[in-house]
């Protein structure tokens, strides 16, 4: 397509254009972004705007530039995409051709310490928000920051939402903008009306260059990353920079080879989604075709299941898959990649940063290892690692797990084509944990034995590997041949994690991330040689020729079946000797047979290798690559560190943070369907994830009564003292006849799972029975966004007094309790065969949970703009920070966020004592022990200085 010309206009011209533009799309929000890159100093006028357009259209595959307008550092406005088309703003929030947001992007990097949001650019941005809101009669809170819809810092960490909203409110109160223009009468009045009208007509023509009927993916979203930065700042795109940004064409090519999982379930979000129908297509269409091609070549179909490491982001996992797939196919192997979104790379990176907070670059050396290992527990390192492992375990969970469902499809496919398929598996790093569960599940379902299992630098615990696979391997029931590629201990100790921890990731796991220091890890040489069962399995005892074999890196040879030259933990999946060895073992070829060689990256020296190089680090964490001080470096000066107390003790050290988020829009009966509940659940999950919670999502058809009960029961019953757990629900609520006789008003309140019409309601008695099992010392907090939710987590406590609900809006989250629903409820309870509690719980003061409800018993929980209003306000308050916030204070902030005349009143239901407790904090954290981080760093500096002095004196 021809490169367009982007018109620059003034704020006054924008006002007139906004009035005259022929809108066919209802604007319901204003989305605010910054470019991050280019920053102010990088901006080159029209060239930069064209660079953004080129990247968005040619590489992202969108039909036009993402934003409706761009505001430059001088306060001028550059026109963008057709205003009657939804923007590429934020996944799930772009709207459609009928309604949605107006999106603008500001040139600049407004993260703290960078460009300043001030002057003409600030004035234009604030007035643009006010003008659009006035044009469409929107509330001032219809402004949305990108960071409220994603995990980016955009539009900049220096911008405070409440301050920006207050500034917009002031502009509107002063009557500036459209009111002034409208008061002037005809738009053409004033000086040079013909010239102004001509400018407006030209602008409308330019905005219409791409038809309003053109469609972009619903999950189109700006990344604000280095790839986009390079394209925008330079106006050109370097091919090597596109590895993480996949166009629709490339994603289409990946789909038959990728199964995307999030927290163990099929992932419907992200760059590439996976549904059950996508998996069906792999096994019923793509593999059938691949099998026919293999038969035509008189060979079996070689099917490889690959699981990447936990340090790979979703985009990193997709980049690995894209690079590998074509090479595997050229070697006659059909690969299927499990891309599991663990989030570990972000969390571990942030933990490392916090552990060395305030350290000067030169101070980061071996002394820091002790600091990191000591700080890992209070900084939740074991919890982060544990939740990643739980994702792998959940994937193999019967019925629900994505890997379990794939294994079932694989069983059916192999049964339909007996003797025609070879199975192979490769797991890199934490991928070995994933495969320990996946292969065990495959065996339990009757999948044929895999021909080969190859593990690269496996991060699985030895006891987990032995529990899941050792017996099956010994019996030849899960894999015929096992190969382990890993570094010897000297290379492991010469590796580093982001130039912060001065050994490999496996040593970080071994020393700091497991529950117990020194927990044996399969990929560490010292652990392999210390275990008699492993020595026998891998033939390391000198007496047995085991099923397994170890290939130590760096190997003497660069070619053959037993070659590996990886010198960093993250290198194995892109190391040509390793990958060529792996394909030879799958093809069962000797060293002298020709294969399609792996096109690996150019070799780097050991000093250049860095764990961070292959990771998409969060914006706020930029790993240091600074050289370490040499023997002749200038003397160190004491580091100037601000005191940063770290909470220590049982609560901080041992507590896990888990959440179950439920959102249901797609009820089977059209009259019950909602529009904002799934978005609510995702929004809550995002907010809670940023607070360190491992979150399970149950959305639409997944959210059956059985699934909600099982998931919530598992979370409650597995909790232990010090844990913080959350249950969030967005969907319909109702009430039904009280069958136990314990309710004063004769009715039980209920949540409405997706299958509630069958009688499968989740009533307050069910919840009370479960919450009574909550172990002492566990903080359970509930956030319920449905009608009549005021007391639905308590048993026989509270009553609405029989007052009717008066909501008439189609978006209310309440299902009227018809006779049919009550009849189905009675029949379901009879089938369930479980007696309901009749003894009550004794009142509010015996409650064991904390519950925030969307509204009072006699009110309606509303949803609008694609979200529940309670969820929208509550998560916004949550995202603003909760350090030191009590439950009562959080409620007050949420109520204040609703404004002076709310149509629903959130409430807090808990014991009087709990009202002053810390929001989402461990129960036993009332008297935390504070460790002065500055003092700790000063002590380590003194130790380093003393060690240097002793070294210089030869002691």
Catalytic residues: 732, 787
From its phi and psi, is residue 36 left (phi > 0), alpha (psi between -120 and 50) or beta?
Answer: left
Of residues 396, 413, 277, the one with CA closest to residue 338: 396
Contacting residues for 955 by C-beta, under 8 A, at least 6 apart: none
> What is residue 470's DSSP assignment?
I
Contacting residues for 654 by C-beta, under 8 A, at least 6 apart: 720, 721, 722
143-145 vs 26-34, strand pairing mode: parallel
Euclidean distance between CA atoms 760 and 750, whole angstroms: 10
User: Alpha-carbon dihedral of residues 131, 132, 138, 141, nearest 10 degrees?
Assistant: -80
Euclidean distance between CA atoms 50 and 461, whole angstroms: 51
The answer to whether the beta carbons of residues 241 and 94 sit under 8 Å apart is no
Residue 295 tokens read as: 């038969």
Query: Which phi and psi angles does 225 have, rounded to 5°?
Result: -125, -175
Q: Is the peptide bond before 882 cis (omega within 30 degrees of 0)?
A: no
The answer to whether the beta carbons of residues 245 and 227 sit under 8 Å apart is yes
| Residue 554 C-alpha from the chain's centroid | 35
Contacting residues for 72 by C-beta, under 8 A, at least 6 apart: 8, 43, 45, 78, 107, 121
Residue 392 tokens read as: 């792998």
Contacting residues for 851 by C-beta, under 8 A, at least 6 apart: 781, 782, 783, 784, 793, 794, 908, 909, 910
Euclidean distance between CA atoms 517 and 502, whole angstroms: 17
Buried b (16+ CB within 10 A) or exposed e, 178-194: beebeeeeebeeeeeee
Residue 471 tokens read as: 């017996």
- CA distances 250 to 71, 329, 622, Å, are 32, 16, 29
Its sign, for the CA torsion 267, 273, 277, 283, is negative
Euclidean distance between CA atoms 606 and 68, whole angstroms: 47
Residue 385 tokens read as: 């690692």
Q: How many CA atoms lie within 13 A of 183 on its CB side?
A: 6
Buried b (16+ CB within 10 A) or exposed e, 295-320: eeeeebbbbbbbbbbbbbbbbbbbbb
- CA distances 15 to 115, 202, 470, 905, Å, are 27, 15, 71, 37
Euclidean distance between CA atoms 359 and 381, whole angstroms: 19
863-864 vs 867-868, strand pairing mode: antiparallel
Residue 89 CB coordination number (10 Å): 28
Contacting residues for 172 by C-beta, under 8 A, at least 6 apart: 130, 133, 134, 140
Segment holding 749, helix H or strand E: strand 747-751
724-730 vs 779-785, strand pairing mode: parallel
Query: Which phi and psi angles does 456 have, rounded to 5°?
Result: -100, 120
The answer to whether the beta carbons of residues 385 and 513 sit under 8 Å apart is yes
Across-strand partners of 140? none
């Amino acid at each position: 397509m021809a490169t367009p010309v982007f018109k620059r206009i003034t704020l006054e011209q924008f006002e007139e254009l906004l009035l005259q533009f022929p809108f066919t799309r209802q604007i319901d929000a204003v989305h605010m972004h910054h470019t991050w890159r280019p920053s102010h100093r990088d901006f080159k006028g029209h060239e930069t705007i064209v660079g953004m357009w080129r990247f968005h259209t040619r590489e992202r595959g969108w039909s036009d530039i993402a934003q409706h307008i761009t505001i430059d550092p001088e306060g001028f406005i550059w026109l963008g995409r057709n205003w009657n088309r939804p923007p590429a703003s934020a996944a799930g929030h772009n709207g459609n051709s009928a309604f949605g947001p107006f999106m603008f992007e500001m040139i600049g990097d407004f993260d703290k310490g960078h460009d300043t949001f001030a002057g003409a650019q600030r004035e234009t941005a604030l007035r643009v928000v006010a003008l659009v809101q006035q044009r469409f009669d929107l509330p001032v809170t219809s402004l949305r920051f990108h960071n409220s819809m994603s995990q980016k810092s955009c539009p900049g960490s220096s911008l405070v939402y409440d301050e920006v909203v207050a500034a917009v409110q002031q502009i509107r109160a002063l009557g500036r903008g459209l009111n002034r223009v409208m008061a002037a009468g005809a738009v053409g009045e004033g000086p040079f009306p013909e010239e102004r009208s001509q400018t407006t007509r030209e602008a409308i023509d330019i905005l219409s260059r791409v038809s309003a009927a053109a469609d972009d993916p619903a999950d189109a979203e700006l990344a604000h990353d280095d790839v986009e930065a390079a394209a925008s700042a330079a106006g050109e795109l370097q091919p090597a920079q596109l590895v993480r940004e996949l166009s629709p064409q490339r994603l289409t090519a990946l789909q038959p080879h990728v199964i995307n999982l999030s927290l163990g379930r099929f992932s419907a979000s992200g760059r590439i989604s996976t549904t059950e129908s996508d998996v069906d297509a792999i096994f019923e269409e793509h593999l059938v075709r691949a099998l026919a091609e293999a038969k035509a070549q008189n060979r079996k179909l070689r099917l490889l299941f690959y699981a990447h490491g936990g340090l790979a982001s979703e985009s990193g996992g997709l980049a690995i898959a894209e690079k590998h797939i074509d090479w595997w196919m050229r070697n006659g192997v059909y690969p299927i990649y499990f891309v599991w979104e663990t989030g570990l790379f972000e969390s571990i990176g942030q933990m490392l940063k916090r552990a060395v907070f305030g350290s000067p670059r030169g101070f980061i050396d071996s002394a820091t290892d002790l600091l990191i290992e000591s700080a890992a527990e209070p900084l939740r390192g074991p919890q982060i690692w544990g939740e990643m492992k739980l994702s792998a375990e959940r994937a193999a969970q019967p019925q629900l797990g994505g890997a379990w469902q794939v294994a079932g499809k694989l069983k059916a496919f192999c049964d339909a084509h007996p003797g025609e398929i070879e199975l192979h598996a490769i797991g890199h790093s934490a991928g070995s944990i994933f495969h320990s569960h996946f292969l065990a599940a495959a065996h339990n379902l009757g999948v044929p034995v895999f021909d080969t299992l190859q593990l690269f630098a496996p991060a699985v615990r030895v006891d987990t590997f032995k529990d899941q696979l050792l017996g099956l391997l010994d019996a030849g029931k899960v894999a015929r041949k096992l190969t382990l590629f890993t570094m010897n201990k000297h290379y492991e100790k010469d590796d580093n994690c982001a130039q912060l921890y001065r050994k490999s990731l496996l040593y970080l796991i071994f020393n700091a991330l497991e529950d117990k220091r020194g927990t044996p890890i399969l990929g560490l040489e010292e652990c392999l040689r210390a275990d008699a069962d492993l020595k026998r399995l891998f033939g390391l005892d000198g007496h047995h020729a085991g099923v397994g074999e170890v290939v130590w890196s760096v190997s003497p040879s660069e070619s053959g079946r037993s070659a590996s030259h990886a010198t960093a933990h993250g290198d194995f999946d892109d190391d040509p000797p390793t990958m060529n060895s792996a394909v030879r073992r799958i093809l069962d070829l000797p060293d002298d047979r020709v294969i399609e060689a792996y096109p690996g990256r150019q070799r780097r020296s050991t000093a250049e290798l860095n764990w961070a190089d292959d990771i998409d680090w969060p914006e706020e964490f930029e790993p240091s690559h600074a050289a370490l001080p040499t023997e002749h470096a200038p003397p160190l000066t004491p580091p100037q560190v601000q005191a940063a107390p770290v909470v220590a003790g049982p609560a901080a050290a041992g507590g896990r943070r888990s959440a179950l988020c439920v959102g249901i829009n797609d009820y089977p009966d059209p009259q019950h369907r909602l529009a904002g509940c799934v978005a609510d659940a995702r929004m809550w999950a995002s907010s809670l994830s940023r607070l360190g919670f491992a979150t399970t999502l149950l959305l639409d058809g997944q959210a059956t009564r059985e699934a909600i009960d099982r998931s919530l029961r598992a979370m409650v019953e597995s909790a232990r003292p010090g844990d913080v757990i959350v249950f969030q629900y967005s969907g319909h609520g109702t009430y039904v006849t009280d069958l136990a006789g314990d309710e004063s008003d004769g009715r039980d309140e209920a949540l409405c799972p997706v299958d509630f019409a069958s009688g499968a309601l989740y009533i307050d008695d069910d919840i009370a029975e479960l919450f009574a099992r909550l172990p002492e010392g566990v903080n359970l907090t509930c956030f319920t966004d449905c009608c009549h939710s005021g007391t639905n987590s308590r048993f026989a406590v509270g009553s609405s007094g029989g007052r009717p609900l008066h909501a008439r809006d189609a978006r209310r989250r309440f299902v009227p309790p018809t006779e049919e629903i009550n009849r189905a409820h009675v029949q379901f309870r009879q089938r369930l065969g479980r007696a309901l509690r009749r003894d009550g719980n004794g009142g509010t003061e015996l409650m064991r949970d904390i519950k925030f409800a969307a509204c009072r018993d006699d009110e309606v929980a509303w949803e609008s703009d694609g979200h529940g209003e309670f969820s929208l306000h509550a998560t916004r308050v949550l995202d603003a920070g909760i350090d030191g916030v009590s439950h009562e204070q959080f409620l007050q902030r949420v109520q204040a966020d609703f404004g002076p005349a709310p149509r629903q009143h959130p409430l807090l239901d808990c014991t009087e004592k709990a009202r002053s407790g810390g929001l989402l904090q461990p129960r036993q954290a009332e008297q935390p022990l504070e460790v002065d981080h500055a003092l700790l760093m000063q002590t380590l500096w003194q130790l380093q200085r003393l060690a240097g002095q002793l070294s210089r004196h030869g002691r």
